[in-house]
Chains A and B, each alone.
Chain A
């Protein structure tokens, strides 16, 4: 029997997926077909020192200093930190507190870009990649300032470093992009497959894994086919389509879908022999490391109502979202701006907030139907939709009732509050419009405060 035939019959019976989750409308058509375009430099870039999870980087430059594109502006502060590179040639205006997407003010380097700043990278740290051992390779990844570009911004060299007491057999590359509206990972897979494959090979070396699986939601079959074609001869890297369902791109869900393994509660993927990285991250790794460059720009999806030139843009880090909107032809009107996807991305409080390493999209939302004033809140009618939606198999209805009663400790002890990763499925389906995720976030914060 022909090989393809066998594969298709298998797929009829078993569609790779996890249980529960939701199917929000995708809204990807406006951007998925358009090639990535490059955005010009904004006159001023705002580069927060803490763009990643872990200790903020330490500034290496002073006010008034001239810097060139690619030059490190800040160094990693310890192991759980990454450096920051100048996205453009210019002069340091100052280092001061600036508003970030987290809603708080954080120290940031403000860079005045020279008007004729070149796209050419003027500072590199070339290494002979073939000669590096595992530790040196991880060091090179840290020096590149690389973090998870899917949104979490977790330092990549930490993620790829397998703890000594654990054995890892599989590297999973997350190409799900389950958030509605976002298409940047989709475009990266279509346009930079060679960078991605090189990045996967480097990541396999760095993590010491023999096998890699690229998991892609089945609404991106063009990417599945393209990568499978490129990897025909590479027996150690597989491409797998998984069901299009939110939150398929959460690493726990994707591991479950691909390998049927569950990350133990409170554990990490390495506990069950897996390391997960996002396609955007590994494409950046495959492009930057051979050239000895640091992370200076990233691809983001600019989309939503009122945006005339929707699409994916290669944006220098630190670009204020106001500048992006101007370039993309924002016509005014809707006034809710989200960094990332609509399910988990934060709304920004100012157009001066810059793009950072973890920003995967800029979304202009116009959803009058869910504005606070038109969203009446009813009591919980125990319909159970949240229970059927929660990918962690929690009982959000119970958690919500405990939260409204102020029983935060019971939530953590008896109802597994801390397993919740705030994907938003419960709030999304709740017919009573109860802001469940927000209640859980508040409860976690209160519990943290009590514990401190």
Chain B
């Protein structure tokens, strides 16, 4: 009889990388569905484009097939959710390619990337196509399931058409072509927090419904597929910073609730900053990382040139992670307190 010889431990917990990644995809699906309900065919086309672009890039750059770990699918979905629904598809494809090639595969693939790949892709198109990425269209417009938003099928390397005229034609209410954050920053108009929470607002394809993001995030946290401490500390950092400014000058600075539920903060806090690869593993490191991202987001939003700051805050947090970890190594059992 031949005997099986393995090293200890002979038992293994049931979770593996594929299970974790697959569940993140599942948690993103309701957010994608809401995005399609809000923005129609264009959102669907956008999601499929970034997804395909990411998957093809991952496959082309690897010798072996690594699509089975589902990580490229997460990047594809997340990327689409951070882009405006009217974003031209060819630009989305470029974003997907950049996300995978520059953000992940250049570093060595799964587990090696320093930055969140989806945000690398978005940062690239933010710099390359500054107009297209700030072109907003109204949500829940009529005929969204029978027509595409103009701009979706822009011919590659040409400038997308103006949407202002189209916006005023399809929008039910007056639509000014700005997100709640932009409205507040540049025009001084506040959007009710409840609308933000439920997702009745303009914005990127997947950042509008805080409720669905929260549900997906809580599901993952409950199954221990994401570190709940990261969103907690981000929201804590952002909420306290925004609250402090609001207290100092309620006229100029919006409330903490508005800041927490607007823009990409929820999506970023639950699904981007929690990317395991780019976030710290040490308990204190997680707290510092989260607070850093939360505070930076609000600082950029209030004092930066852009109305949104989550993306750069998370990328900075990713960059700081090795340093944070170096200074927050846990106290080893039996060692004197450090």
A residues touching B (Cβ–Cβ < 8 Å)? 22, 24-25, 180, 252, 256, 262-267, 335-338, 342-351, 363, 365, 367, 369-372, 375-376, 378-385, 387, 391-395, 397-398, 416, 419, 422, 424, 427-429, 431-433, 435, 437-438, 441
Contact = CB atoms under 8 A, between A and B. Distances in A.
Interface stretch (B30-38, B252-260, B326-334): B326-334
A437 B10 CA distance: 11
Among B6, B17, B333, the one with the most A-chain Cβ atoms within 10 Å of its Cβ is: B333
Contacts, number: 156
23 contacts: A22-B13, A264-B334, A266-B334, A335-B4, A336-B5, A342-B9, A347-B6, A363-B10, A369-B12, A369-B14, A370-B11, A371-B6, A378-B69, A380-B111, A382-B111, A387-B282, A387-B283, A394-B332, A427-B9, A427-B12, A431-B15, A433-B12, A441-B7
How large, as a class, is the contact surface on chain B?
A: 35 or more
B112 interface: yes
Interface in B96-153: 109-112
Contacts of B109: 379
Contacts of A350: 3
A381 B110 contact: yes
A238 B73 CA distance: 57
Contact of B334 (A180, A267, A337, A428): A267
Contacts of A438: 7
A384 B282 CA distance: 7
Interface string B305-338: 0000000000000000000000001111111000
Nearest to B2: A335
Among B10, B69, B330, the one with the most A-chain Cβ atoms within 10 Å of its Cβ is: B10
Interface of B: 1-17, 19-20, 69, 109-112, 224, 227, 276-277, 279-283, 329-335
A180 B12 CA distance: 12
Nearest to B21: A381
Contact of A435 (B7, B69, B335): B7
B281 to A, nearest CB: 3
Given A336-B10, A347-B6, A350-B3, A381 B17 contact: yes
Contacts of A345: 8, 10
A381 B10 contact: no
Nearest to A265: B334
Given A370-B11, A438-B7, 11 more contacts: A264-B335, A347-B3, A363-B10, A370-B12, A372-B6, A380-B111, A384-B227, A387-B330, A392-B334, A393-B332, A424-B9
A384 B281 contact: yes
A344 B15 contact: no
